[in-house]
Amino acid sequence: MDLVTPSIGLIFWQAVTFLIVLFLLAKFAWKPIMKALNDREASIENALSAAEKAKLEMQALKADNEKLLAEARLERDRILKEATEAGNNIVETARQKAEEEGSRMITNAREVIENEKRAAITEVKNMAAVLSLDIAERILKRELSDPKTQEALAQDYVREVTLS
């Protein structure tokens, strides 16, 4: 059982050795170890703050991107609206021009028809006058072939002229 129970001398030397090792560790190793731990803690803290800062920047960038997308959508909608309005204006202008051209063509056609109608009426009147003169000439030749009839007709004219 001697092996299991330590003696006082052994405990003393173990305590002295422990205190020497503790002193040496405190003198030479403790400060670098604590410095390394503090440095690591600081680097972890810096990394966490940098990550938080990056997260905030990402949120700001995301908000900016969403704002830009919203502005781009508004711009797209405005451009589409303007294009639609421009297309409608072009169609409306073309329709108005077509209506004006159609009205002008109808007016011109009516004028041409009216002129042709007047020309035809004038021609018919001229033909009627020529035919009337021809018929009157034939009738007068037939009726005036007799000298008595010529004298009676002349007397009738003289009476009408003096009465008027």
Q: What is the pLDDT of residues 120-150, one digit of tens each?
A: 999 988 888 888 888 887 777 777 777 787 7
Amino acid type, 88: N
Q: Round the average pLDDT of the chain to a whole number and report it.
A: 88
Q: Which two tokens stand for residue 85?
A: 């309005």
Q: Which two tokens stand for residue 101?
A: 């051209």
Q: Please give the helix or strand (H or E) that residue 24 lies within, else none.
A: helix 8-24
Q: What three-state secondary structure class fits 6?
A: coil
Q: Residues 52-67: pLDDT tens digits?
A: 999 999 999 999 999 9
Which residue from 143, 162, 138, 163 is spatially nearest to 153, judged by alpha carbons?
143
Q: Residues 25-54: pLDDT tens digits?
A: 888 888 888 899 999 999 999 999 999 999
Which one-letter DSSP state was computed for residue 160? H
As a whole number of angstroms, the distance between CA 104 and CA 14 comes to 125
Which residue is it, tokens 């005036």? Answer: 144
* pLDDT in the model for residue 58: 96
